[in-house]
Amino acid sequence: MNRTTLSLIAVATALAAVTGFAALTAPDTGGTAAAQTPAKLPVERTSQLCPAPSVSDVAETTYTSITPAGTADAGTAGSAELMESVVTLVDPADAGASDDKAKDGGDVAGAKKDPAKDKPFVSLKEPGKPVSVEASGAEAPALVGTATGRFAPGWTTQQTTMVSVGDARGVLGLTCTAPDTDFWFPGASTERSRQDYVHLTNPDDTAAVADIELYGKDGAVKSEVGEGIPVPARASVPVLLSTLTTEAAADVTVHVTTRSGRVGAAVRVADSAGGSDWLAAAADPASRLVLPGIPADATDVRLVAFATGSDDADLKVQLAGADGTITPAGSESLHIKSQMTATLELADITKGQAGSLILTPAEGGRAAPVVAALRVVRGKGDKREIAFIPATAPIASRSTVADNRAKGSTLSLTAPGATAKVKVTASAGTGGGEPAEKTYTVKGGTTLAVTPPVPAGLKGSYALTVEPEPGGGPVHAARTLALPEDGVPMFTVQTLPDDRGTVSVPKAKEDLSILDDGS
């Protein structure tokens, strides 16, 4: 062994002693390295962001938070807390010139609230036991939160707002979002009857800078003020879409990206023609999409889709209902030009049966990536209400939705391929009650809409956790919460993507032989 090798081993030994240096290894298989399956371990830290819920003085907002029980190896320590965030108002005309201010800490004028308080606004005590907090009026806060240890895997918070009067009346529901750097929102609008705000919330202690791009039926919507929007540290910024352009477009796709930092993003929609709700981000661009949970009594459904790549997309449109998958007459396909937004009017497509839309490449068409969402209407005339259903990925292992009521909750489970079995667990209530559990079989190519199990002795609201059993086909899910008011069928729909409560961790141990140069 030469001097170089000895030196390398000495350095490696020091590294191992100081930093716990490790190398990926596999069992000895006669000289051939065999890969080991990474272990699935619970995540140790999760962030959540809840935007300011309403500008209405008569709004009543409920925040409901839970970490599902039963996550193995999650330990006994940790916490989950949501703190009040500063809400700032940004003039889009100044956004492009604000990069330096944002980098220096976000010196943005127009703060609506005092700095975030030290006391948590929402705090969990035990996994499996939801906690609910209420707030009234336009001053209900935006929230920034973190969960650690045993509270991190699957941590979920639902923000539900009731506005009983005015143009923005309706139920606005949103599952608080995780921070990211890229979001797509097909289904927004800049027309006069709509007031659509993109809410950008920064969870970090340093400022972020975001860009907002709009795409209509003819491509990119001209805007010179959607770039370089500063989002101060641990603050939330609402941006009115109609201030970004002079073009009034009925349907646009919003693309939010960050130049620096990360944000949570959601679009709050108010339609003077009737109703309001949150539009959550759609699933990542793909050539096959599922939009689950169209209510049985939907009176009007509109599909909004956008081709994100350089190729046009040709989609086959199908509805998965209770008895199977059909192709709706007159709405069999949709052609989407590259970098353009396309719409398809589906009217009362469900015909009294809850269903889910399945989009796949048309026969002979291009398999180009798209994003998509549905605008759904219940009721008619001045007794109508809107909600949105973005495309959502299948549940890989588990998903949870909070704030279910004893009456008014419907769970939709869709198996676009093979038949699947799904375990649904109802948590304890916010004020008491015993958990309940039920298993459902979802036949391939169908949507099963059920009234979910309710905890025995329920007091308050509760959470639902959905877990597909191994060996079945993929499952997509959504929850409809109906809260009728004065003859208006107010409702909101939340999709259930996987909670990403576990992460793959490769097995490792010390192996200094990788530093041997073979001399």
Per-residue pLDDT reduced to its tens digit, 180-193: 999 999 999 999 99
**Could you give the percent of the chain with pLDDT greater than 90?**
74
| Mode of pairing for the β-strands spanning 194-201 and 208-216 | unpaired
Q: Which of 92, 120, 128 is nearest to 108 (CA)?
A: 92
Burial of 271 (0-12, 13-18, 19+ CB in 10 A): buried
Reported as a pLDDT band with limits 50, 70 and 90, residue 139 is: confident
> Measured between alpha carbons, how far is 64 from 76 in angstroms, rounded to an integer?
22
Average pLDDT, stretch 378-401?
96
Contact 54/172 with Cβ under 8 angstroms?
Answer: yes
Task: Select from 248, 281, 314 the last residue of a domain.
Answer: 281
Question: Alpha-carbon dihedral of residues 16, 22, 25, 27, nearest 10 degrees?
Answer: 60
Average pLDDT, stretch 8-28?
37
| Whole-number pLDDT of residue 90 | 67
| Same domain flag for 30 and 51 | no
| Same domain flag for 13 and 152 | no
| Same domain flag for 130 and 174 | yes
Q: Which two tokens stand for residue 383?
A: 């007794």
Question: Is residue 196 a part of any domain in this protein?
Answer: yes
Question: Is residue 384 a part of any domain in this protein?
Answer: no
State yes or no: pLDDT of 391 exceeds 60: yes
State yes or no: pLDDT of 339 exceeds 60: yes
| Whole-number pLDDT of residue 504 | 74
Question: Is residue 455 a part of any domain in this protein?
Answer: no
Q: Which of 437, 410, 411 is nearest to 426 (CA)?
A: 437
- Estimate to the nearest angstrom the gap between the alpha carbon of 88 and the chain centroid: 23
Q: Which of 135, 265, 262, 293 is nearest to 200 (CA)?
A: 265
| Whole-number pLDDT of residue 230 | 96
Q: List, in order, residues 6 or more apart from 289 with CB less than 8 Å away.
A: 283, 358, 359, 370, 371, 372, 391
| Whole-number pLDDT of residue 92 | 60
State yes or no: pLDDT of 159 exceeds 60: yes
State yes or no: pLDDT of 72 exceeds 90: no
Q: List, in order, residues 6 or more apart from 312 with CB less than 8 Å away.
A: 335, 336, 337, 338, 366, 368
Question: Is residue 106 a part of any domain in this protein?
Answer: yes
pTM attached to this predicted model: 0.87
> Measured between alpha carbons, how far is 364 from 447 in angstroms, rounded to an integer?
27
Q: Please state the domain count of the chain.
A: 2
Question: Is residue 446 a part of any domain in this protein?
Answer: no
Burial of 364 (0-12, 13-18, 19+ CB in 10 A): exposed
Q: Which residue has the higher pLDDT, 252 or 504?
A: 252
DSSP, res 413 = E
| Same domain flag for 86 and 60 | yes
Reported as a pLDDT band with limits 50, 70 and 90, residue 93 is: low
pLDDT in tens, 410-422: 999 999 999 999 9
| Same domain flag for 130 and 252 | yes
Average pLDDT, stretch 448-467?
97
| Whole-number pLDDT of residue 501 | 86
User: How big is the CA angle at 148 (ends 144 and 152), to the nearest 5 degrees?
Assistant: 85
| Same domain flag for 30 and 68 | no
CB neighbours of residue 35 within 10 Å: 8
| Same domain flag for 34 and 61 | no
| Whole-number pLDDT of residue 516 | 57
Q: Which residue has the higher pLDDT, 35 or 214?
A: 214
State yes or no: pLDDT of 105 exceeds 50: no
Question: Is residue 427 a part of any domain in this protein?
Answer: no
Q: Which of 487, 430, 438, 489 is nearest to 460 (CA)?
A: 430
> Measured between alpha carbons, how far is 175 from 143 in angstroms, rounded to an integer?
12
DSSP, res 263 = B
| Same domain flag for 109 and 248 | yes
| Same domain flag for 25 and 55 | no
State yes or no: pLDDT of 18 exceeds 70: no
End-to-end, the C-alpha distance of the chain in Å comes to 6
| Same domain flag for 23 and 107 | no
| Same domain flag for 120 and 223 | yes
CA distances from 355 to 43, 439, 468, 477 (A): 34, 20, 19, 11
Q: Which two tokens stand for residue 412?
A: 């939709």
Average pLDDT, stretch 37-45?
81
Reported as a pLDDT band with limits 50, 70 and 90, residue 517 is: low
Task: Select from 259, 281, 303 the last residue of a domain.
Answer: 281
Is 37 in a helix, a strand, or coil? coil
Is 308 in a helix, a strand, or coil? coil
Contact 199/142 with Cβ under 8 angstroms?
Answer: yes
Q: List, in order, residues 6 or more apart from 503 with CB less than 8 Å away.
A: 40, 41, 42, 43
Q: Which residue has the higher pLDDT, 9 or 291?
A: 291
Q: Which of 125, 67, 393, 90 is nearest to 229 (CA)?
A: 90
| Whole-number pLDDT of residue 108 | 39
Question: Is residue 172 a part of any domain in this protein?
Answer: yes
State yes or no: pLDDT of 220 exceeds 60: yes
| Whole-number pLDDT of residue 110 | 38
pLDDT in tens, 302-326: 999 999 999 999 999 999 999 999 9
Task: Select from 281, 308, 334 the last residue of a domain.
Answer: 281
Q: List, in order, residues 6 or more apart from 58 with CB less than 8 Å away.
A: 137, 163, 164, 165, 166
Question: Is residue 411 a part of any domain in this protein?
Answer: no
Average pLDDT, stretch 102-114?
41
Burial of 194 (0-12, 13-18, 19+ CB in 10 A): buried
What is the gyration radius of the CA atoms in the chain, in angstroms? 24
The half-sphere exposure of 295 on its side-chain side, counting CA atoms within 13 A, is 26
| Whole-number pLDDT of residue 84 | 95
Q: Which residue has the higher pLDDT, 22 or 479?
A: 479
State yes or no: pLDDT of 491 exceeds 80: yes
Reported as a pLDDT band with limits 50, 70 and 90, residue 116 is: very low
* Amino acid at residue number 163: V
Reported as a pLDDT band with limits 50, 70 and 90, residue 28 is: very low
* Longest alpha-carbon distance in the chain: 87
| Same domain flag for 33 and 137 | no
| Whole-number pLDDT of residue 299 | 96
Contact 481/409 with Cβ under 8 angstroms?
Answer: yes
Segments forming the whole domain that contains residue 19: 3-41+508-515
Burial of 339 (0-12, 13-18, 19+ CB in 10 A): middle
| Whole-number pLDDT of residue 3 | 39
State yes or no: pLDDT of 89 exceeds 60: yes
